[in-house]
Amino acid sequence: MDWRDDGIVLSLRKHGESGAIAALLTRDHGRHAGLVRGARSAKLRGVLQPGNLVRADWRARLAEHLGHFTIEALEARVAPLLTSPGRLAALTSACALLDIALPERAPVPEIYDLTDALTERLADDDWAEAYVKWEAALLAALGFGLDLNACAATGVTDDLIFVSPKSGRAVSREAGAPYKERLLRLPGFLLPRPQTAPPTPEDVVRGLRLTGYFLNEQVARPGGQTLPDARSRLASMMDRDATR
């Protein structure tokens, strides 16, 4: 059993003296794990960083075996972000989320393309907005998309500023006013017809709280997990930036 595919490194777990079990998000084979011999060598240590793009050859005697990866570097997407803690935290968070959210060996080409595009967008000035939109798109690709087209209570399409934590549907300012303490805030940049002004740091924080709530309730908790520490660190970092 063998195949070759491009993949984004999601995680690395030590195995033996010098090896590691790498989890990749591959284009055609989904989230796939394999043993990498010499993963902690000087040659591969920098390649096998979460977020880097690699080419992987996977081989095993039987399809159900763990198998072995032979890894070739394609694009170092981590190194350019090392001087930007926020961007690096966003990349690390995305990889950690995918590692807990995706089933093993199930092709998810839409999610691969979304993530591949995100790793490139993190170099842009609007990287924080792009990251929150990626989380919203990930929810939709996993079957838990938010319905933000119209108010769940009245059907109006204007002045949508809340989201129901139960239904994931938008709620207008007027309809949600009596229940605002129980509703999630909806930043304008996540609307299907987004606002023209760029989001503020506070908008980004509201977006992270919104997507984070549903990622936790719909993805992590049903699998007996919690959101990764990397995701929590990113949220804390964005919250501090907004406060300053």
Is residue 166, in this structure, part of any structural domain at all?
Answer: no
- Are 79 and 197 within 8 A, CB to CB? no
Which of 50, 76, 102 terminates a domain? The answer is 76
Average pLDDT over residues 27-40: 95
pLDDT at residue 113, as a whole number:
97
Which of 60, 76, 92 terminates a domain? The answer is 76
93/141 same-domain check: yes
Residue 169: strand pairing partners: 147
Is residue 181, in this structure, part of any structural domain at all?
Answer: no
40/129 same-domain check: no
pLDDT at residue 118, as a whole number:
97
Which of 76, 111, 137 terminates a domain? The answer is 76
Residue 105: strand pairing partners: none
The two tokens of residue 184 are 């999630």
Is residue 131, in this structure, part of any structural domain at all?
Answer: yes
67/142 same-domain check: no
3 state SS of 115: helix
Q: What CATH number is associated with residue 66?
A: 2.40.50.140
Mean pLDDT estimate for the chain: 95
213/141 same-domain check: yes
| Band (17; pLDDT cuts 50, 70, 90) | confident
pLDDT at residue 16, as a whole number:
85
136/15 same-domain check: no
pLDDT at residue 236, as a whole number:
96
- With a pLDDT cut of 70, the percent of the chain lying above it is 100
- With a pLDDT cut of 90, the percent of the chain lying above it is 91
52/121 same-domain check: no
pTM for the model stands at: 0.94
Is residue 112, in this structure, part of any structural domain at all?
Answer: yes
Give the domain extent around 61: 2-76
pLDDT by residue (tens digit) across 164-214?
Answer: 999 999 999 999 999 999 999 999 999 998 777 889 999 999 999 999 999
Q: What CATH number is associated with residue 208?
A: 1.20.1440
125/193 same-domain check: yes
Residue 27: strand pairing partners: none
Strand order in the sheet with 170-172: 170-172, 160-163, 184-185
Q: Report how many domains make up the chain.
A: 2
- Are 31 and 106 within 8 A, CB to CB? yes
Average pLDDT over residues 119-142: 96
pLDDT by residue (tens digit) across 82-126?
Answer: 999 999 999 999 999 999 999 999 999 999 999 999 999 999 999
pLDDT by residue (tens digit) across 61-88?
Answer: 998 899 999 999 999 999 999 999 999 9
231/216 same-domain check: yes
50/99 same-domain check: no
Residues 185, 187, 193, 197, CA torsion sign: positive
pLDDT at residue 18, as a whole number:
87
pLDDT at residue 149, as a whole number:
96
pLDDT at residue 109, as a whole number:
96
